[in-house]
Structure 1
Amino acid sequence: MQLYKSFLKQLVRNYMIGSIASVVVVGGVLLVTTLEISFEECARLMAILAISFMIMLISELSVFLKQLKPIRAVFEEEDPDLDLLEKAYLHVHRMPRLAVYRIFGPHLLGLSLPAILLTIWMMEQGKLSFPAFYIWLASLGAVLLASCHAMIEFFLTIAAIRPLIKGIRRKALSRHGVDFSLEGHVFMAIRVKFLLSTMLIGTFPLFLFSLAVQIRLEGLNKIAPQQYWGWAGGVLLLGVGFAYVGAWLLTQDLQRPIRQLYRAMNEIKEGRLIQTSNLYSDEFSTLIAGFNMMVRGLQVREERNRKLLDSYFAALAAALDARDPYTAGHSLRVAEYSVLIGRLAGLSEEEIDLLHKTALLHDIGKIGVRDHILLKEGKLTEEEFDQVKTHPQQGENILLQIEPADAMAPYLEGVRSHHERYDGCGYPDGLKGKDIPLFGRIIAVADAYDAMTSDRPYRSGMRSADALNILEEGKGTQWDPDFAGMFVNYMKSETKVVTIR
């Protein structure tokens, strides 16, 4: 309900801005072209305006409340149904056009018709003595004032409805799982908007000046040149000022969706496939709907590519593990443990995804190790162990052959460094402490735990508790103390549920 109240306040504020701007421009011209009438006639004219204003206010207020009814109903209902939300959503998009209808309907006619009829009646009664054609000049002034007011309120209402559109969409999405969109439906064509706005901006100063000249026509021959140009300059300044305001509102209306699309395109350029809000009622709605359709297509392709890549990594890991029945599933388990440690460490989802893929491929270099060494059941000789120790570099070299190179770059450091030790005694580079890449330090813990708890042909796997004790003892020497500590504490706790991707 707070959103609706804010919207209502904004509409009232817009109405006041449009009214004041119109009165300043057109009323300013009437002030500098004041008719020479008696005090009594002036008082009668003020009475006519007061009566007409009250009639206008009553009729316009009744129409205004009727226009707000479908919107108010949504925010008064505690749990509005989908049909009610959809009607309100579409009605909100009509509000700028309805504002124009209201200004040219009850606002203009509610003021002008009673004023004209009362003025004619008083002239017939001899209570007003100015020429009858002034009534038609006043009617023209009223149309100019309404045009000025309508254009200003139209563009201000366009801006005011956007938070309300977002609010209704959120309600529909949260309560019914439906996200409303015009999907290109046009409530106000840009061509019509441009045509009417530019025509008014271009002709308003001319009509305003013509109106002022007509009112002052009888006294022009008595005005000195300096007075004339001062008077004419004031009228023209008011007209040009309105033209500038109208042009500014029109350009803002154009720039807003263009800036929005430009920001969305930058998001896509950065790799973030995010749809943009469709809050417009003109052809920009069609453009944004098309843009979002393109993004949805890219999202589908991205998801397919992601699944394909995940399957590719998993297949490589499975193919590697299949060489040795005793290590079957090792890469998958190391990936699971690595993800667990990454989540405990508070890594982002993007980092978790990269870590998972890196862990799947951490032993890919063993493809280059000969079977008689890799599958040997007894203890390896020093020369054979040196051959096994080359698998991190070989894994990096294998990944460097995959194109595009930048796609594999995030996985290289983790694959190369997962056998580095925290004390600097590891291989292949003898890195120490935090110089070891992040993924390498995490995978080292996960790899060691799975290796210790898995069966081998020459030994049975350790109990989990014994392996965790070894990790505990090796904190700060063989393994990163933070990651090893997190993993040990978690595995020793009562909660043993591992969140797997």
Structure 2
Amino acid sequence: MVLYKAFIKKQIRNYLFGSVVAVLAVGSVLLISSLELPALEYGRLFLVLLFSFLVMALLEISLFMKHVKPIRTALRTADPSLELLEKAYHYTHRLPKHAVYRILGPHLFGMAVPAILMTYWMIHTDLVSLPYSVLYQAVTGAVLIACMHALIEFFLTCSAIIPLIKEFRNRALERYNVDFSLEGYVFVPIGPKFMVSCMLIGTFPLALFIMATNVRLHDTALSRTGIQNFWGWAGMVLFIGTAFSAIAAWLLTKSVQHPINELYKATNNVKDGQLLQIQDEYLDEFSNLVAGFNMMVRGLQAREEQNRQLLDSYFTTLAVALDARDPYTAGHSLRVAEYSVIIGQLAGITGVELDNLRKSALLHDIGKIGVRDSVLFKEGKLTDEEFDQIKAHPVLGENILRQIEPLEKMTPYLGGVRSHHERYDGKGYPDGLAGQAIPLYGRIIAVADAYDAMTSDRPYRKGMAPEQALGILEQGRGTQWDPVFAGLFLEYSRAK
């Protein structure tokens, strides 16, 4: 509750500051400097202003207490739920917007309506010697003053809510290990905020000056034509000032929105795995933001490269460790990966897809870890039961990879590992897939695996000559192996 009390005290100070500046100070100065009235009438008008201020404060305080109720409830609850904390977190972000609605609602009408009615009564009963036209100017002035007060209150509230936002976020982290985030949601777009702020800052002094001057002119002996000429001049000045403010606000908004949008797009690219730096084209402090962002991206790129090298080493080590079980098959997985990459390149596969193909080929026989040595290295003919064990290694390999976390990182390799013994005519194993139903990597690895198996020495036979092995691949195109990938490998090998 200490934080809540501090927040309320700060809001009261902010409110009093904004009210004094925008209502009492400006209103009083306008009255004192622009009107020539007896002291008694000044006092009556000041009492009207004070009474209206009290009515406004009463209405506004009741609405403010309603606005902060979710925040008060969350801070007063000893053990708040996650839902309550999240509601308070989001509601706190809305307070600056609520402050504007509060000022332009009960603040404006609570102040203006009593003041206009009481002043009208005083003019009607000759308690103050003012023309009725002053009332129209007073209404315009009240709107301008309320807009200025809303602007002040908005920015002061933006500063005041920061400790509350941090508190709700920290409580959610400590109690529920949940980190709140707006996920890019914008409560107040920067465009309208800059446009309205600059317009008010630029036109408020002009409008106030014109109104004060007009009141002053009504107190002097000017002809009707003179007053009309004044309003023509005042309208031109106000138009030029407003146009200048609008153009300046648009240019300022654009200069701020552009780097923000660029940074937002770049962070989305990072989220999607595209580690791209931003072109530094800014002359102000946004250049520091861009430099910091690019520094972060370079760090992520270095980390990504280290992770890639580590993963490559991990895959290669697994493949070498597997091949080391049998001196006759040493280097088999590396060669199959090399042949698979050649076929992939000939087929137009590039980038990440080609790298995934290489890794899948490196691990294509990892399931043989689960096959007994007595079966795997048997030199004689295998029994049906032993052959079933051999045929199980693609499924065993897929299951082994599924145990590695995160699973989505292993997913690209599962199809190639499981299906590299499928046949194009559907007579392979383990699933009896045929044609294009066989995963892409499986069809490529099947060609590379068969060629290396045929050309490698075994304990029970000498490896075939490359031309003989290529002849068998030619014969099996379209039946055992994918005709396109087998054809590409044949063409490449014979061209060498």
- Do Structure 1 and Structure 2 share a fold, with TM-score over 0.5? yes
Instruction: Quote the residue 1:384 is aligned against.
Output: 386
2:452 corresponds to which residue?
450
When the two structures are superposed, what TM-score results if normalisation uses the length of structure 2?
A: 0.56
For residue 413 of structure 1, the aligned residue among 403, 412, 415 is: 415
Deviations 1:370-392 (A, max 9, x none): 00111112232222111100000
The code of the aligned residue for 1:447 comes to D
Give the Cα–Cα distance (whole angstroms) in 1 for the partners of residues 289 and 424 of structure 2.
55
How far apart, in 1, do the equivalents of 2:222 and 2:202 lie?
23
- In the alignment, which residue of structure 1 is the partner of 2:337? 335
Say whether the 8 Å CA contact 1:377–1:457 is kept in structure 2: yes
Please state whether the residue corresponding to 1:223 is helix, strand or coil. Answer: helix
CA contact (8 A) 2:340 2:361 kept: yes
1:240 is aligned to 242
Deviations 1:299-342 (A, max 9, x none): 11111111111010001000100011110000000000001111
Structure 1 residues 479 and 241, CA gap change in structure 2 (3 angstroms): same
Q: Following superposition of structure 1 onto structure 2, how do residues 237-316 of structure 1 map, counting pairs within 5 Å?
A: 237-316=239-318
Q: How does 1:49-68 map to 2 (within 5 A)?
A: none
Give the corresponding residue for 2:170. Answer: none
Q: Distance in 2 between matches of 1:267 and 1:342?
A: 28
Give the drift of 1:454.
Answer: 0.6
TM-score w.r.t. the length of structure 1 is 0.55
CA contact (8 A) 2:455 2:465 kept: yes
Alignment-derived partner of residue 202 in structure 1? 201
Residue identity over aligned pairs, in percent, reads 65
Q: Which residue of 2 aligns with 1:46?
A: none
CA contact (8 A) 1:205 1:239 kept: no
- Matched to 2:245, the amino acid is A
Specify the code of the residue in structure 2 equivalent to 1:461: G
1:471 equivalent in alignment to 2:477: no
Q: Which amino acid aligns with 2:201?
A: G
Q: Supply the AA of the counterpart residue of 2:287.
A: S
Asked whether the equivalents of residues 471 and 479 of structure 1 are also in contact (C-alpha less than 8 Å), the reply is yes
Moved segments of 4+, more than 6 Å: 198-201, 207-211
**CA contact 1:208–1:239 (8 Å) conserved in 2:** no
- The residue that corresponds to 2:491 in the other structure is 489
For residues 239 and 482 of structure 2, what CA distance do their matches in structure 1 show? Answer: 75
Aligned ranges 1:352-431 → 2 under 5 Å: 352-431=354-433
The CA deviation at 1:223 is 2.6
Q: Unaligned 5+ residue runs, structure 2? A: 1-193
The answer (yes or no) to whether the contact 1:208–1:235 under 8 Å persists in 2 is: no
**TM-aligned CA deviation for residue 484 of structure 1:** 0.7
Distance 1:407 1:353 in 2: 13
- Partner residue of 1:350 out of 349, 352, 355: 352
RMSD: 2.9
CA apart distance, 1:278: 1.3
How far apart are 1:202 and its partner, in Å?
Answer: 3.4
CA distance in 2 between counterparts of 1:220 and 1:234 reads 20
Q: Is the 8 A contact 1:201 1:242 kept in 2?
A: no
* Contact kept in structure 1, 2:202 and 2:241, CA below 8 Å: no
* Corresponding letter in the other structure for 2:442: G
Higher relative contact order, chain-length normalized (CA < 8 Å, sep 6+)? 1
Structure 1 segments unaligned to the other structure (5+ residues): 1-194, 497-501
Asked if structure 2 preserves the Cα contact closer than 8 Å seen for 1:363 and 1:395, the reply is yes
Give the drift of 1:247.
Answer: 0.3
Note if contact 1:313-1:361 (Cα within 8 Å) is conserved in structure 2: yes
* Aligned equivalent of 2:65: none
Q: Given residue 374 of structure 1, which amino acid in structure 2 is its aligned partner? A: L
| Offset at residue 238 of structure 1 (A) | 2.1
1:205/1:243 contact within 8 Å kept: no
Equivalent position of 1:223 in the other structure: 225
Report the counterpart of residue 180 of structure 2 in structure 1.
none
Q: Which residue of 2 aligns with 1:321?
A: 323
Measure how far apart 1:290 and its partner are: 1.0
Q: Distance in 2 between matches of 1:381 and 1:207?
A: 100
User: Which amino acid in 1 is paired with 2:250?
Assistant: W
| Alpha-carbon distance between aligned partners in 2 of 1:476 and 1:203, rounded to the nearest angstrom | 79
SS in structure 2 of the partner of residue 347 of structure 1: coil
* One-letter amino acid of the structure 1 residue matched with residue 303 of structure 2: R
Moved more, 365-374 or 458-467: 458-467
Once the two structures are superposed, residues 175-232 of structure 1 have per-residue CA deviations (whole angstroms, 9 ceiling, x without a partner) of xxxxxxxxxxxxxxxxxxxx9xx88983588579989x9xxx9x97463655543443
Distance 1:485 1:450 in 2: 16
1:98-147 per-residue CA deviation (whole Å, 9 max, x = no partner) reads: xxxxxxxxxxxxxxxxxxxxxxxxxxxxxxxxxxxxxxxxxxxxxxxxxx
Alignment partners' CA distance in 2, 1:322 and 1:221: 110
Indicate how the Cα distance of structure 1 residues 301 and 245 shifts in structure 2: closer, same or farther if over 3 A, else same: same
Q: Which amino acid aligns with 2:462?
A: S
Amino acid at match of 2:301: Q
For the residues of structure 2 that align with 1:422 and 1:347, how far apart are their CA atoms?
A: 20
Residue number in structure 2 paired with 1:434:
436
Tell me what 1:81 maps to.
none
**How many residues are matched?**
298
Deviation, structure 1 residue 445: 0.6
Q: Distance in 2 between matches of 1:223 and 1:243?
A: 30
* Residue aligned with 2:462, SS: coil
